[in-house]
Amino acid sequence: MIIGKVTGSVVATRKNEKLIGSKFLVIEPLRSMSSEIASDKFVAVDSIGAGIGDIVMVARGSAARLACSREDAPCDAAVVGIIDDGTGLEK
């Protein structure tokens, strides 16, 4: 699981039919998470209604596919939670 900040959104008018209706967000991992993964931004499917500026939890890999609206969707990152209080998290 990765913790990151939503920094933007992506609009794709043409996409795999299993992703139609999905919202895509740009996620920037927190610096404290960068030792575990590359610190580059990435795109995640939003399954819970997060918005720009939110600090979120993101599942990647096969766990993300389960969080997408359709389990067979081609998805490798999905927002699965919005963090309300992250004591100790470095932003």
pLDDT digits (tens, 9 = 90+) for 53-72: 999 999 998 888 777 766 67
Which one-letter DSSP state was computed for residue 65? H
Checking if the pLDDT of 9 tops 60, the result is yes
CATH, range 2-13+20-82: 2.40.50.220
Residue bearing the bigger pLDDT, 42 or 67:
42
Residue 56's alpha-carbon distances to 14, 15, 70, in angstroms, are 26, 24, 21
E-only strand ranges, 15-76: 23-29, 42-46, 55-60
Confidence label for 3 from pLDDT (cuts 50, 70 and 90): very high
Q: Is 82 exposed, middle or buried (0-12, 13-18, 19+ CB in 10 A)?
A: middle
Residue range 37-65: mean pLDDT, rounded: 87
